[in-house]
Chain A
Amino acid sequence: MSERLPAARDAGELVEVVAGADGSLLDIVDHLLNQGVVLTGEVVLGLADIDLIYLRLSALLCAADRILPRAGEGGEES
């Protein structure tokens, strides 16, 4: 089974690790939208309506309903 990491429960270490990593948007977008476990298998091409700085991901594989404005929602999805 996945083991609990008792030492990591220390609040000081937690803050250090969370704050210590470079949380640039490029890294976060790359990791969260281009990597990670995909379970649904039903993905379509969509474009994110956010400033991605420089990104290789000219076409993001994402579920469109999480990126594009839903029908009837006139404003931008953000």
Chain B
Amino acid sequence: MLRVYAVVRAGAGEPVEKGASGEMLRLVACGEIAAIVGEGADVSLSPEALRRHDETVRRLALELDPLLPARFGETAPDDAALVRALAPRAAELAEALARVAGCVQMTLRVFGESAEPPPSVLPEILDEPLTGPGTRYLLQRRQEAERARSLPEIAELRAALAPLLRAERVERHAAGRLLATAYDLVARGDAPRYAELVRSAAARADGPRVALSGPWPPYAFAPEVRP
């Protein structure tokens, strides 16, 4: 059984680091990408297993760039089966590797009470008599998508961070005090500046509490799995 740790570009060279169970790691190539795998590793789920896996991926990310972490528990019975799983997604994984090259992920969580979304120009457009039902539908869909990605509770901080962002992914949460999580992709060298901006905002904020962690390998920037 092969345990998959990450995806890198083909030709990256054999990893020097060892796996979460101390096993040797190697590459399984598929076109222009390759998976980093360990042989016969235990993938039982526990907090300690997660921490060991995360530490392994972190060390690999320091060794090889670009790198996309695999989800915990990804396994394949042998090389051939892994290549069959990789092949249909090779192009999008190569594209994602290009996107995360030289970058790290910062994870920003926002706690507190939800704020009203910022006013939108869309209602005015929707009132235009010439706006047809198809256009109205698409504009409403766009507005809903923009609201889902917005963080009005920390708009000032997001504006300050914007110049550092290579990509972002925001998830708002429906219930609980965790309002939203922003996964931000920043250049490796910009991570300290990003953290400083968050710390400065947190020190003076009387609004929602923010919790920053990172730098992480770019866990949140793997291509989505389509049904």
Contact residues of A with B, CB < 8 Å?
A: 1-5, 8-9, 13-14, 17-18, 21-25, 27-33, 35-41, 48, 50, 54, 56, 62-63, 66-67, 77-78
Identify which of residues 22-77 in chain B touch chain A, using a CB-to-CB cut-off of 8 Å: 35, 43-47, 50-51, 53-55, 58-59, 62-76
Among B16, B43, B82, B219, contact of A36 (Cβ-Cβ < 8 Å): B219
Min Cβ gap A3→B in Å is 6
Residues of B within 8 A of A (CB): 4, 6-13, 16, 35, 43-47, 50-51, 53-55, 58-59, 62-76, 82, 85-86, 89, 93, 97, 107, 171, 173, 176-178, 181, 183, 211-216, 219-220, 222-223, 225
Q: Is A27 in contact with B72, judged by CB distance below 8 angstroms?
A: no
A50, B47: Cβ atoms closer than 8 Å: yes
The list of the 8 closest CB pairs from A to B, nearest first, reads A36-B71, A22-B213, A1-B11, A2-B12, A8-B62, A35-B219, A2-B8, A31-B219
Q: Shortest Cβ distance from B213 into chain A, in angstroms?
A: 4
Question: Which residue from B58, B171, B173, B212 sits with its C-beta under 8 Å from A22?
Answer: B212
